[in-house]
A and B are shown apart, each in its own frame.
Chain A
């Protein structure tokens, strides 16, 4: 393949330069990969803003950016240039150094996660760490720190309220987010993200089918984790002006913006990896068997990007449709709904696995194929799992709504009567028509 010839040429060149094979493999290539991923992710993030503006425009019966380039395609670049050249303003009373560094923490914590995301097979992974998922959760929660520091150091009350809101919100939703992933981990039996994708590939299924409840919980808590609408309380512009980044401007502000979109991309990527089978797509493997290895990797990366972008689209869709929650309601949802559902989901998943194992060999039924890479089930086993997953989803929703039925905040529409129309008698006219 002509397209991938430069890779071999570069490899040869590096070898001839006298670098050892180990150095090239563990140092030079990762550096190239990192460079590529950072550039591509930054582009993705920039164009995510463009897509958001376009999608929101179509939802709102308008056009969106149209001026810079064809269909406004160069708008993100123009925005970036504008923000780069703006004044880097730091308020006089701000805590200078913290104010200075908070945006970098935000961006770094969002971008570090990309180091373990498997964009595709083989060379499309920078690092396959065996605690990949833990690393993702750990590093993305460092992002909270940036928000709190930004809110505190701005020395503005709006920023402070935004920072406090974000810390409370992210701490509560991280619990739900972590718990919602456990169900999928029980099937995959590994924390390595490549391993999770591999387990889904070996079982030839997407875990969203086994774990519909877990997938939904992860998406919802992911939105909250990213401070996106309807959970965008830390930066609720109608209440807190701009929340934690009220005092930021120019490039520093845009770093927060990039961090937000990068965090969204991260959540979409993790959801794709864990629940949507990562870079797997039916029939793409035929490229590999036909001998086009590099093309196979490239198509797989594209599949991954498309899947993640669909989840991103879901985020945009929600943002431009729903009103914003209030702070206490947000906490209610986190603690009264998401965390209990995540716990119930773990129990149900465990029970489903137990059921499948118990039924294996019962009256000659075979449910488990083999157990070395995750849980590999036969068609019957898969059917049981999927049914259990759907039953679990509805059972959880039913149980929680039963528990919360009498709560004042639940089922508001049923609790009230509609307005009535009164046909009042007419009084004495103030002005006689045509008098």
Chain B
């Protein structure tokens, strides 16, 4: 990656127009422990470099010494905001390796719960993004909605944030008794609340002037960098794994993909808001057609996929999360590699920020919606 020359010393601080500002790893709005070294002319960013790895836990290496079923809980800690989606990519990859038939009820429940998780993740993004730009009240409003989803998760999985949702072959247990009622209630109340956030932000002059034309990235550049998720769709590329390679029960669902046009922060904001509406639509449909039956496939005592390498992707809230596994016929994978969407999206930061002001760097980090757990792994 590009390196910023850190040559400015105390003596030259006054003579040179440039200043190196070290943003993070302890900074309120780098969303965790991201360190960004900014080279500033006044407040204009002329160069920047990201320093990552403060949250490195060696997950991919740990996975080489664990059984296939033991690795799943580690995967929930990749993107800890969207533990449910991350868990799904692991179990689905292993299921494909094994050729396991997953019961349709499990597929439908997976769809409902991952979409709930997408809404929760987008709500947290909205909360922190608005906070970065200075709208504090939106933070608490969005967290209030997220709380409803976390309550459902707590009742279903026993945990609010780091919920271990799936098992290879299905789900650990069926939906709890009031599941339908709770989800239905959330689905019914949610659009009203979303409109409420829009009244505070979407037409707000300050919000517009802070987001329109900020962090523009063209469709060509977005594809070249490998952006995925709302960051790619904001630039006008209609790409969504849920549509192009449907997994779980997405093949049966009817929903639209929101696509931006200008590739700026405001478009990505609108895309994410619309995605929440579409997620709600998917949950609505899945709940309507939720089939009965078992939620778990019959599984051998030890999961031992055949030799070979497998790659599977799903559409996580942050983008396309992929899992590449090389199996050597034993109960442990030989090599595991994650395609973390945040890591790849973060690469666009430099291109997006140069020429903007310090305040915009914060807005752009917010709009990329990164999670350091996933970047550093």
**Chain A contacts to B: CB under 8 angstroms:** 56, 59-62, 157-158, 161, 229-230, 232-233, 236-241, 319-329, 408-409, 412-413, 415-431, 433-435
Q: How far is the CA of A237 from the CA of B29 in the complex (A)?
A: 8
Residues of B within 8 A of A236 (CB): 134, 359
A422 touches B209 (CB 8 A): no
Q: How far is the CA of A427 from the CA of B313 in the complex (A)?
A: 14
B243 touches A322 (CB 8 A): no
**A62 touching B96 in the complex, CB below 8 Å, given contacts A230-B134, A326-B357, A422-B238:** no
B358 touches A239 (CB 8 A): yes
1/0 per position for B194-219, CB-CB distance to A under 8 A? 00000011011111111011000000
Residues of A within 8 A of B262 (CB): 416
Nearest B residue to A435, CB-CB:
B101
Q: How far is the CA of A216 from the CA of B330 in the complex (A)?
A: 74
A424 touches B257 (CB 8 A): yes
> Is B92 interfacial (CB 8 A cutoff)?
yes
A229 touches B137 (CB 8 A): no
**A323 touching B210 in the complex, CB below 8 Å, given contacts A422-B238, A424-B238:** yes
> Is B33 interfacial (CB 8 A cutoff)?
no
A229 touches B134 (CB 8 A): yes
B134 touches A427 (CB 8 A): no
- Secondary structure dominating the interface of A: loop
Residues of B within 8 A of A425 (CB): 243
Q: How far is the CA of A237 from the CA of B135 in the complex (A)?
A: 12
Nearest A residue to B43, CB-CB:
A327
Nearest A residue to B237, CB-CB:
A422
**A434 touching B107 in the complex, CB below 8 Å, given contacts A62-B140, A241-B27, A412-B212:** yes
Residues of A within 8 A of B144 (CB): 61
B347 to chain A minimum Cβ distance, whole angstroms, is 22
- Can you name 6 extra interface pairs (CB under 8 A) apart from A60-B139, A433-B248? A321-B135, A324-B135, A412-B212, A429-B247, A430-B313, A431-B247
B251 touches A323 (CB 8 A): no
A105 to chain B minimum Cβ distance, whole angstroms, is 24
**Can you list 21 A-B contacts (CB < 8 A)?**
A60-B139, A239-B29, A240-B358, A241-B27, A323-B134, A323-B135, A323-B201, A323-B206, A325-B210, A329-B209, A412-B209, A420-B261, A422-B259, A424-B238, A424-B257, A426-B244, A428-B245, A431-B247, A433-B102, A433-B107, A435-B101
B200 touches A429 (CB 8 A): no
A153 to chain B minimum Cβ distance, whole angstroms, is 15
**Which one of A161, A232, A328, A430 has the highest number of Cβ atoms from chain B below 10 Å of its Cβ?**
A430
> Is B52 interfacial (CB 8 A cutoff)?
no
> Is B141 interfacial (CB 8 A cutoff)?
yes
Q: How far is the CA of A431 from the CA of B169 in the complex (A)?
A: 12
Q: How far is the CA of A424 from the CA of B96 in the complex (A)?
A: 25
> Is B172 interfacial (CB 8 A cutoff)?
no
Nearest B residue to A415, CB-CB:
B212
**A431 touching B92 in the complex, CB below 8 Å, given contacts A419-B274, A420-B261:** yes
Q: Which of B223-242 contact A (CB under 8 A)?
A: 238, 240
Residues of B within 8 A of A161 (CB): 21, 43, 358
B135 touches A322 (CB 8 A): yes
Q: How far is the CA of A136 from the CA of B266 in the complex (A)?
A: 42
B210 touches A413 (CB 8 A): no
**A327 touching B274 in the complex, CB below 8 Å, given contacts A322-B135, A322-B204, A322-B206:** no
**A433 touching B252 in the complex, CB below 8 Å, given contacts A60-B141, A323-B204, A427-B246:** yes
Nearest A residue to B134, CB-CB:
A324
B96 touches A431 (CB 8 A): yes
> Is B136 interfacial (CB 8 A cutoff)?
yes
1/0 per position for B272-307, CB-CB distance to A under 8 A? 001000000000000000000000000000000000
B147 to chain A minimum Cβ distance, whole angstroms, is 11
Q: How large is the interface on B (under 10, 10 to 19, 20 to 34, 35 or more residues)?
A: 35 or more
B238 touches A322 (CB 8 A): no
A366 to chain B minimum Cβ distance, whole angstroms, is 45
> Is B374 interfacial (CB 8 A cutoff)?
no
**A420 touching B259 in the complex, CB below 8 Å, given contacts A329-B209, A429-B247, A431-B95:** yes
Q: How far is the CA of A418 from the CA of B198 in the complex (A)?
A: 14
Residues of A within 8 A of B200 (CB): 321
Residues of B within 8 A of A320 (CB): 136-137
Q: How far is the CA of A409 from the CA of B360 in the complex (A)?
A: 15
B137 touches A321 (CB 8 A): yes
> Is B130 interfacial (CB 8 A cutoff)?
yes
A35 to chain B minimum Cβ distance, whole angstroms, is 37
1/0 per position for B134-160, CB-CB distance to A under 8 A? 111101110010000000000000000
**A323 touching B244 in the complex, CB below 8 Å, given contacts A426-B251, A434-B107:** no
Nearest B residue to A322, CB-CB:
B206
B23 to chain A minimum Cβ distance, whole angstroms, is 9
A61 touches B140 (CB 8 A): yes
Q: How far is the CA of A182 from the CA of B349 in the complex (A)?
A: 48
Contact of A420 among B201, B246, B258, B361 (CB under 8 A): B258
A432 to chain B minimum Cβ distance, whole angstroms, is 8
Q: How far is the CA of A428 from the CA of B201 in the complex (A)?
A: 38
Q: How far is the CA of A229 from the CA of B133 in the complex (A)?
A: 11
A430 touches B210 (CB 8 A): no
Contact of B132 among A238, A325, A416 (CB under 8 A): A238
**A324 touching B252 in the complex, CB below 8 Å, given contacts A422-B238, A428-B245:** no
Nearest B residue to A61, CB-CB:
B144
> Is B362 interfacial (CB 8 A cutoff)?
yes
Residues of B within 8 A of A238 (CB): 28-29, 131-134, 362
Residues of A within 8 A of B340 (CB): none
B245 touches A230 (CB 8 A): no
Q: How far is the CA of A61 from the CA of B43 in the complex (A)?
A: 36
A40 to chain B minimum Cβ distance, whole angstroms, is 30
Residues of A within 8 A of B76 (CB): none
Residues of A within 8 A of B208 (CB): 412-413
B256 touches A422 (CB 8 A): yes
> Is B116 interfacial (CB 8 A cutoff)?
no
> Is B249 interfacial (CB 8 A cutoff)?
yes
> Is B267 interfacial (CB 8 A cutoff)?
yes
**A239 touching B258 in the complex, CB below 8 Å, given contacts A326-B210, A430-B96, A430-B245:** no
> Is B331 interfacial (CB 8 A cutoff)?
no
Residues of B within 8 A of A408 (CB): 213
> Is B104 interfacial (CB 8 A cutoff)?
yes
Nearest B residue to A237, CB-CB:
B28
A331 to chain B minimum Cβ distance, whole angstroms, is 11
Q: How far is the CA of A79 from the CA of B312 in the complex (A)?
A: 54
> Is B327 interfacial (CB 8 A cutoff)?
no
B57 to chain A minimum Cβ distance, whole angstroms, is 27
A324 touches B133 (CB 8 A): yes
Q: Which of B50-106 contact A (CB under 8 A)?
A: 92, 95-96, 101-104
> Is B19 interfacial (CB 8 A cutoff)?
yes
Contact of A419 among B101, B267, B313, B361 (CB under 8 A): B267
A428 to chain B minimum Cβ distance, whole angstroms, is 7
Nearest B residue to A60, CB-CB:
B140
B228 to chain A minimum Cβ distance, whole angstroms, is 15
Residues of B within 8 A of A325 (CB): 206, 209-210
